Amino acid sequence: MRSVSKVRAAVRQWVRVYLDDTSPLTTLGLFLGGTLTIALGLVNVWSDVGWLEHYQAWWHLGPLLVGCAANLVRRSRPVLTLVVAALMFVVDAVIGGSFAIVLVLFDGLYVVERFGSVRARGVVRFAAGVVTVATAIAALLGGESVRTALTLTFQNAALLLLPIWWARDVRSREELAAAAHARADLEASRAAARARAQDAEQRSAVQAERSRMARELHDAVAGDVSALVIRAGAALARPPGPTDRESLAAVRESGLHALDELRSMIEVLAAEGDQEPVAPSLTEDGAGLLERSDVMVDGVSPAELGPLAPAVDRAGYRVLQEALTNATRHGRPGSASARLRRGKENVEIRVSNAVENPAEDTSGMGVASMTERAQAVGGILGVQVEEGTWTVTATLPVAHP
């Protein structure tokens, strides 16, 4: 049984290769097969049609050779292959017909259905149907029995319609396979596009997170470090005196606060999960910020600005912190002032300080950070330089929109 299975598989493989191949070996295989049928005596199959009484069997090699020559262009010129095969079929029938030329005609019908254009396939199908029906009608009109007419009809159908059906089935399978490959390629390209989009989204999220952490670090630490440096510089610039201890205490306080902010952020970065940093708020921590900055305060105290939406409360603290940092860093010492006001729907934070060389360049990181924070909660931020005074004004809504 195993040997029979191997033989069947080998035959199927040979038929598949033959039907798909367009090399001279295909034509050689057809010619050798036809020659073998002639050698076995499978000739004179149309004895009632043959018009030559005395002929040799090898005469059938002529039509077979011409038909096989046309078979060399079976894929590029399928219609030409069929036309030559049909002509050689007629020529071969004159001398009685042979099974060899039947193979050639069978192959010609197959290649037109398999490789021909849509129009050529339609014409061949119509012609095959007409010939099959006409043969049955002619047999009946010629006085043949119904049984004989049906026999001729089945023979013609087997000769003309079977290769067409076979080629159509093979072509359909190929089209389905091509469509499957196309779908697989499309899915692969879509998967690659999704992967690229996800990668870009991930990179964007990472970059946004890095920017957020950079802003948080800047807002949390820059003010205290700036105050620390400025106070230390001022203490060094003065002659030694009793105020040194007060300056060192202020420097120590700013340093400790900066260390607390750093420690809080480091704990958040080192922790697992989605833990968010506990950010200071304007109403709870604003008073300590103003006290450390040593500025003149006008209006209400930070605690009296509440209640505020949590996001607005945190954004207000960071805006005030950055504004005071800029005032300490760039302003004239002792000239900074802060004014806090609360309206029915808005909270106003204004920080002013005198500057030695006023400039209108507001493109620094601090101004950008304050603007982003104000806009994030639906507020606005303005920076104005007028008559030697630098003023930052933030108007924030009481409730986050």
Final residue in a domain of this structure, among 188, 205, 236 = 188
Domain residues for the domain of 117 are 2-188
Taking each helix axis as running N to C, give the angle between helix 162-237 and helix 282-293, from 0 to 180 degrees, rounded to the nearest 10.
Answer: 40
Pairwise pLDDT comparison (152 vs 85), residue with the higher score: 85
Query: Which tokens hold the place of 265?
Result: 């952020």
pLDDT of residue 314: 87
Please check whether residue 287 is in contact with residue 342, taking contact to mean a CB–CB distance below 8 angstroms: no
pLDDT of residue 350: 92
pLDDT of residue 176: 87
Please check whether residue 68 is in contact with residue 31, taking contact to mean a CB–CB distance below 8 angstroms: yes
Residue 347 lies in a domain: yes
Q: CA angle, corner 316, sides to 311 and 320, nearest 5? A: 155
Q: Which helix (H) or strand (E) segment is 354 a member of?
A: strand 346-354
Please check whether residue 366 is in contact with residue 222, taking contact to mean a CB–CB distance below 8 angstroms: yes
Query: What are residue 187's phi and psi, to 5 degrees?
Result: -65, -40
pLDDT of residue 91: 87
* Domain match, 223 and 144 both: no
pLDDT of residue 380: 92
Q: How many domains does the chain have?
A: 2
* Domain match, 18 and 151 both: yes
pLDDT per residue over 3-54, tens digit each? 667 667 766 665 555 555 556 777 888 888 888 888 888 887 765 554 555 6
Query: Which tokens hold the place of 41?
Result: 């005596």
pLDDT of residue 348: 93
Q: Which helix (H) or strand (E) segment is 396 a member of?
A: strand 389-397
Overall size of the chain counted in residues: 401
Question: Which of these ranges, 94-98, 99-103, 240-244, 305-309, has the smallest mean pLDDT?
Answer: 240-244
* Domain match, 135 and 254 both: no
* Domain match, 243 and 349 both: yes
Residue 209 lies in a domain: no
* Domain match, 51 and 97 both: yes
**Amino acid occupying residue 176:** L
Residues of the chain above pLDDT 90, percent: 7
CA distance 350 to 308: 17
Residue 385 lies in a domain: yes
**What is the chain's mean pLDDT, rounded?**
78
Residue 196 lies in a domain: no
DSSP 8-state code for residue 397: E
* Domain match, 8 and 71 both: yes
* Domain match, 259 and 149 both: no
Residue 194 lies in a domain: no
CA distance 95 to 239: 133
pLDDT per residue over 333-388, tens digit each? 777 889 999 988 899 999 998 886 655 455 566 788 888 888 888 899 998 888 78
Final residue in a domain of this structure, among 171, 188, 205 = 188
* Domain match, 296 and 157 both: no
Give this prediction's pTM.
0.46
pLDDT per residue over 307-316, tens digit each? 888 888 888 8
